[in-house]
Structure 1
């Protein structure tokens, strides 16, 4: 507010404003509290010290003459101190979701720096009236005001006016705020002539460097207003739930009055003292002629009305606590945000950052509802669940939830461990992922060109022999026999497709040996997998069965690469960061790489889609193209489901934080519901289904791409079933029966037939017999007997009826398959 501007309280006297009426003398009454007496004595003592400092300043040139001389002393006092910096005022940082909604706030001091235009003029007048009414008239040191305040306070028996001007108070607060340790803080608060002289010297430098408006703005933004609120904007939001630009006269006077003794005048703890102080401010404004008496009296008659908004620092009270914790740890551990941990913490808690994250509000809420519904935070079985959601093609983390509140583990329903993340971002050592790792063996096999129809014997027991790790060393010899304990059956052949759908352990051990353990491990590593503790994956024959401890986030990012047709992206949680001045800071950028060919990814997607329609997770679809894989860990110590669409991938873990092998889920009862043995499809898949449906609601669905033809060179890989004989049936009935059996149909030109009635099916190719589901059966309808003497009359022959009959090729008329594709074959 520049001097001379309209409403400038500093120039009211020059404009002919009414002179201040004589102040009423106030003495300490018999009812004055002990605290008030002590406060008054301290204030008087301080003013006595201030008077001594003023004498010292008057004598400064004389005192310095004996040394460097009066001229040098004056030069020292008037020069800008080399150690003075006006930057680095702590401001609170805010973490935002992708849509701009607030996730959490971090601060060393709860402060929001605002320009002078966003501070209501009535606030500025109120502060100036009670703290430094001649601010726009004097320099750094207001001798007249200081002596007047000393005389007024001595006569009234208590401190009603400050002895320091706004600039001096700003400097004191600046030095205190910039103190990095207890020693520096004590030095900034010590009551000595040396400190006062240093502050005055700094005040002179500040007045030289900044205009009055800027000094006032800085002061209003740095002052402490009690109850954890620093700066007028944070105080306004805290006490009144509004911006400083919206404050009314009584509210402005209340905040102005708090500055002198923030604890004593805290309106929450001491409403009576706060109101008296507010009224003192209003009275002072009236005395200065900055308010007419009627307005001041009306404001004094109003009670204090607070609308308190408590802002806490950190993630504990966040609506997305574990996602928030992940972002916090990313900033505190990533060198891109500072060379040392102390630098990074200072940036987060003092830098006034606006951190825009990747979190999708809808996905986060859907995931939290899903895990809390199926595994309540305080469930009777003490189980836990966690889920992470990642966007294919970007690596953006859309949601991250745990079915707990963030807090001390000793309290039921709370944990400090983020089970959804790696140890570096959540203290979790990870959990064994079970059969979800079979997807990496599948991808490695398809990457080597194995067709879907590749069939291997899956014995009831598999003894691992001859496996070598990536160093060429034999591992697992002689290994214990591995079985199909909880996943599928053995004792027969399976194709790549059916072995995956039924999650047959011994089939995948055989496939891993055929592909090579090292190639399987390298495929997982290409897809970003590593142990949750940051170490490389361990390499043993049971790798494909998922014994490595990993995090849901890593697994979700790997499966997201399948949805992105082979492009893997490192998970990221931060889109952008701006500092208090609006300057963009460097953040970890998108880190994506094509790690498998598109066709290979398409083939993986083709196989894993069947898990949701005819495999271990059948019935868990979400009404749009989706793929996934169940995972059940040995002895039912944990269960998983990882699944994805082209738009979103997610991985869900359910287990026991106390130790899955100590507290397995072989016969789980939880909150009155008994599940028996818990598989990946028992609890994790329903969580995935509910969360994905909620996260993707209202978004357009994208299809998966058809795999290259080479993968069909040995058929679709489905188990063969009998093609029903539909000859003699009406066309519609024949088509319906074939589709019900899992086959597709196309209709050729009608054929003359003396064996089958007109308008019934006379030919089918291939004919009745074993075939893979999905095979296209070509039908030809009879148009009746041929005219006498024409070929075809009288029995089978070229174009005649019978199994495998043929006719002259003609352009087929294709009947599209029923919605959802071929029906599941009977049995």
Structure 2
């Protein structure tokens, strides 16, 4: 619903006069109930053969509106409307309490802000805009009389519903004008002049829905989070009713500065008219708070304006699509698994330029099924073969290294690591647990990937994605929400992973792009034949993930021989477009903030020295080959070992 709360000083005097005249002309003289006015209204309405003036006091009507709008279930709503003495007594008791607590002007202000006027307008400010395209403070006499006449039965006088309803609204307006003249609030001449005017209904569209939001993708995520999350109601029906009828003030985690940074960075590198779409999500480590969601196309349904009708930054459950394959950003989960199992930074293995899973492969999914495919050869798009350590293999993003590493640590263990960081497919389907899991075959969304990487920046502390910090209902009742976090893995494992991933900027695939002038770590991601490209990275203070792909179908519309943002690319990699977007975003988003350093790696546990340490035969942290498995870690060749 749409509502704008305004102070009484921002409501035209003629509007206050009109509503009091028709609904409760003794409002400023009586208490919670006006017995004299109620009796007089009954007599007058009987004589007129209809409802000429209200029978309940404005205070009673305010209480009734509060109770009705607080009702979430159909049962509660029916109870708030039932014609019973019990309900009337309950309302009277509440009305007496309201009269004791608030002044008459305060009560009138609250009533005008909660009343429903029809045509989807809640509150006098929304009604003034909807009906006449003006602010409540600028209402004229006939306009004020029209709105005052509408509150008695807003559905019967809803001008959007047809000619009959408009005629009824006009009739009600004139009744209000007559009552104002009768009470000598206006002259008979003024009443006659106002009654001679046309209805003047404009039907001005009201802001509402995420399409009207300044941050539509973020708005869509918030809306769907409330609809999906049992925290906001036990059933989908209850959550829907809460959202649509609750008159809520929703406080979110969005940071306008960071949002602007993400939007500007994307605009710099990708145009809305480009076929590929770039999207980015920013998450605060240690909280799960989503700080920004941006895309290269605006939200909407216009193909001519190159708009998107779904939330490309999020998963399907939050208004998004099916996502894009995450590519080599998934290698980080294999790296984490190796470190969790005791591997050291300079442990290594020899790999070729191609890798084919052996028939006796230990590639088993989490159901214990052997899913190796010896007929499929994995090759290296980035980095060559030879001896690679955990560090150099990561920096160069060597596919064959990570296939062999995944086989060593166990596919299911890698899947479990990913799941512990909230990794799930964007389309909501189960993760595909194949041998190429480490190469990012699953379709993901930037929010999920950014949040997973944020856990490394938070030293292994994973927090569920969070967008709502507080909800205040129309009665001022507030409920605050806290991050939901867990320690997904050892902080020292996170330190070692961050240490390795920081080398991506100085020794690896992001060397040409460069760092951001403070501690940062991350991983590029490029899928097979450049279908999609990613970069996911983090500092201790902020994490982000950027993807780019063609929504028409990444498998058939690859990122080869393509112009993006006015620049031609023979092939798009993670460091081509996503990496620079991430860098520009971080520079702007973190500008003026104090830089936080990563916790130094525990060198006694992980061997340390991730920056350029050559493996040596006398290093005590070298993994020893295990008999009976020629895929275990080996000594580097050519070093006389």
**Partner of 2:628 in structure 1?**
none
Confirm or deny that 1:235 pairs with 2:124: no
> Once the two structures are superposed, what CA deviation does each residue of 1:379-433 show, in whole Å capped at 9, x if it has no partner?
2xx2112211111011111112233333348666233332222222224223211
TM superposition shift of 1:519: 2.7
When residues 254 and 530 of structure 1 are mapped into structure 2, their CA distance, relative to the original with a 3 A threshold, is closer
Distance 2:449 2:187 in 1: 70
**Partner of 1:519 in structure 2?**
413
Question: 1:316-715 counterparts in 2 under 5 A?
Answer: 316-379=211-274, 382-408=275-301, 413-465=306-358, 466-469=361-364, 470-484=366-380, 486-490=381-385, 492-585=386-479, 587=481, 589-618=482-511, 619-670=513-564, 672-710=566-604, 713=607
For structure 1, which segment, 246-255 or 670-679, has the greater mean C-alpha deviation from structure 2 after superposition? 246-255
Please say if residues 289 and 465 of structure 2, whose CA atoms lie closer than 8 Å, have aligned partners that are also in contact. Answer: yes
Which structure 1 residue ranges, 5 or more long, are not aligned? 1-106, 151-160, 189-194, 722-771, 773-827
> SS of the counterpart of 2:251?
strand
When residues 138 and 443 of structure 1 are mapped into structure 2, their CA distance, relative to the original with a 3 A threshold, is same
Distance 1:263 1:557 in 2: 46
Higher relative contact order, chain-length normalized (CA < 8 Å, sep 6+): 2
> Once the two structures are superposed, what CA deviation does each residue of 1:178-217 show, in whole Å capped at 9, x if it has no partner?
9999xx99xx9xxxxxx9xx79999899678746979977
Please say if residues 570 and 592 of structure 1, whose CA atoms lie closer than 8 Å, have aligned partners that are also in contact. Answer: yes
Distance 2:184 2:309 in 1: 57
Please say if residues 434 and 547 of structure 1, whose CA atoms lie closer than 8 Å, have aligned partners that are also in contact. Answer: yes
Distance 2:575 2:255 in 1: 26
> SS of the counterpart of 2:292?
strand
**Partner of 1:138 in structure 2?**
37
Distance 2:453 2:85 in 1: 64
TM superposition shift of 1:644: 0.8
> SS of the counterpart of 1:692?
helix
TM superposition shift of 1:706: 1.7
Confirm or deny that 1:128 pairs with 2:20: yes
Question: 1:74-153 counterparts in 2 under 5 A?
Answer: 107=1, 110-111=2-3, 122-130=14-22, 133=25, 137-139=36-38, 142-146=41-45, 149=48
Confirm or deny that 1:288 pairs with 2:183: yes
When residues 334 and 510 of structure 1 are mapped into structure 2, their CA distance, relative to the original with a 3 A threshold, is same
Normalised TM-score (structure 1):
0.61
> SS of the counterpart of 1:456?
strand
> SS of the counterpart of 1:702?
coil
Distance 1:423 1:556 in 2: 16
> SS of the counterpart of 1:482?
strand
**Partner of 2:639 in structure 1?**
none
> Once the two structures are superposed, what CA deviation does each residue of 1:336-378 show, in whole Å capped at 9, x if it has no partner?
2223222211100101111111111111122122223322223
Distance 2:496 2:540 in 1: 14
Cα RMSD for the two superposed structures:
4.5
Distance 1:431 1:680 in 2: 13
TM superposition shift of 1:575: 0.8
> SS of the counterpart of 1:631?
strand
Distance 1:416 1:605 in 2: 37
Distance 1:146 1:535 in 2: 62
Aligned residues: 582
TM superposition shift of 1:487: 1.5
For structure 1, which segment, 529-538 or 573-582, has the greater mean C-alpha deviation from structure 2 after superposition? 529-538
Q: 2:52 aligns with which of 163, 174, 189?
A: 163
> SS of the counterpart of 2:38?
coil
When residues 163 and 265 of structure 1 are mapped into structure 2, their CA distance, relative to the original with a 3 A threshold, is farther
Distance 2:186 2:458 in 1: 67
Distance 2:279 2:331 in 1: 21
For structure 1, which segment, 425-434 or 130-139, has the greater mean C-alpha deviation from structure 2 after superposition? 130-139
TM superposition shift of 1:292: 8.0
Distance 2:85 2:52 in 1: 12
When residues 598 and 464 of structure 1 are mapped into structure 2, their CA distance, relative to the original with a 3 A threshold, is same
**Partner of 1:59 in structure 2?**
none
> SS of the counterpart of 1:560?
helix
**Partner of 1:735 in structure 2?**
none
For structure 1, which segment, 626-635 or 419-428, has the greater mean C-alpha deviation from structure 2 after superposition? 419-428
> SS of the counterpart of 2:519?
coil
Question: 1:644-793 counterparts in 2 under 5 A?
Answer: 644-670=538-564, 672-710=566-604, 713=607, 716=610, 718=612
Distance 1:201 1:477 in 2: 73
> Once the two structures are superposed, what CA deviation does each residue of 1:495-554 show, in whole Å capped at 9, x if it has no partner?
222221111111222222333323322222222222223444333221211112222111
> SS of the counterpart of 1:640?
strand
Distance 1:138 1:201 in 2: 21
> SS of the counterpart of 2:321?
coil
Normalised TM-score (structure 2):
0.77
Please say if residues 500 and 610 of structure 2, whose CA atoms lie closer than 8 Å, have aligned partners that are also in contact. Answer: no
When residues 548 and 130 of structure 1 are mapped into structure 2, their CA distance, relative to the original with a 3 A threshold, is closer
